[in-house]
Amino acid sequence: MANQSGKQLKDIAFSVLDLSPIVENGTASESLKNTLDLAQHAEKWGYNRYWLAEHHNMPGIASSATSVVIGHVAAGTSTIRVGSGGIMLPNHAPLVIAEQFGTLESLFPGRIDLGLGRAPGTDQLTAYALRRERRSDGEDFPDQLEELRTYFKPSVERHVRAIPGEGLNIPIWLLGSSGYSAQLAGKLGLPFAFASHFSPENTIPALQLYHQHFRPSQVLDEPYAMVGVNVIAAETDEEAGRLATSMQQQFLQLLRNNPGPLQPPVDNINDMASEYEKSLLEQRIGSSIVGSPETIKEKLQLFLNDTQANEMMVNAQIFDHKARLRSYEIVGEFIQ
């Protein structure tokens, strides 16, 4: 991406991505309470939106019933936008999502976002258990998306209608970790959110595809791109590095096909991983921004220079809730 504009951190919006992490020896109930607490702090610190992610059959993630958690967060806050990052559309009938988000928008007018992904967000057996009769390979995603968008259009002639939902203006975002959704979002003139926090090597190519294929629409006159980024901030680089080992362990669990609760930090992640695993960790989350406030600010600015994003969505998988709050507070200081 071009880096000619001189865009500064204060010029863009910052948002929160929350997986509602369930920590070792913790419960989903505690995680969801922590989610609301973080959302209330994020609102106070000036974050723009707060998104929850749909994952299933994951012992370390409490946000599987994403629409329900969105309602919980929206009810406990007053101004911050709340939405999905994302709803995995192949898991659902589009009518159900239209009704759910129509209900959320009716309850919390002007505050709800609908971010959509085309992956199942889980393994194939779980995807089958979620929705037996629909393929989970995402091939029919454009058709599902068109069906969903149609339910939001005003009409009294349609035989099947989404009520609530019909006639409501709910922003739809496409999410992606490769080029597919980037091109589709561009062609449809929709905002695009890229999962740079776990697919860093595809970030710049996907953003370029989005801008190249963008066509103005009733939704957007110009492209609007948001990038996800892992940020682990603390008072010192050393402390942040230790906190980041919980995120590293989480990815190790996924690599080993053994997902579990978020683990407490360790002194040295290298003692737990093989050379091959360490190379995969570097590939997937090596671009994470970890450090003191000064380090974080410098690296976030470099990331902005490279991406020229309109918005950054911060993910922080940190074991201790107070340390997680402090990490987001540090980033929030760049928003003011």
Domain containing residue 38: CATH number: 3.20.20.30
Q: What's 38's DSSP letter?
A: H
The SS3 call for residue 159 is coil
For all residues of the chain together, what is the average pLDDT?
Answer: 93
**pLDDT tens column, 75-116:** 999 999 999 999 999 999 999 999 999 999 999 999 999 999
Domain assignment present for 73: yes
Nearest to 61 by CA among 308, 322, 317: 317
Domain assignment present for 139: yes
Domain assignment present for 142: yes
Domain limits for position 211:
9-236+288-332
- Whether this model's pTM surpasses 0.85: yes
Nearest to 252 by CA among 276, 231, 218, 232: 276
Q: What is the mean pLDDT of residues 303-309?
A: 96
pLDDT of residue 305: 96
> Whole-angstrom Cα distance, residue 183 to residue 193?
12
Domain assignment present for 253: no
Residue ranges in 121-274 assigned as alpha helix (H): 124-130, 141-152, 180-188, 203-213, 237-255
DSSP H or E run through 175: strand 172-176
How many domains is the chain partitioned into structurally?
1
Cis amide linkage into residue 164, ω under 30° from 0: yes
- Asked whether 74 and 52 are in contact (CB, 8 A), the reply is no
Residue 131 above 90 pLDDT?
Answer: no
pLDDT of residue 230: 97
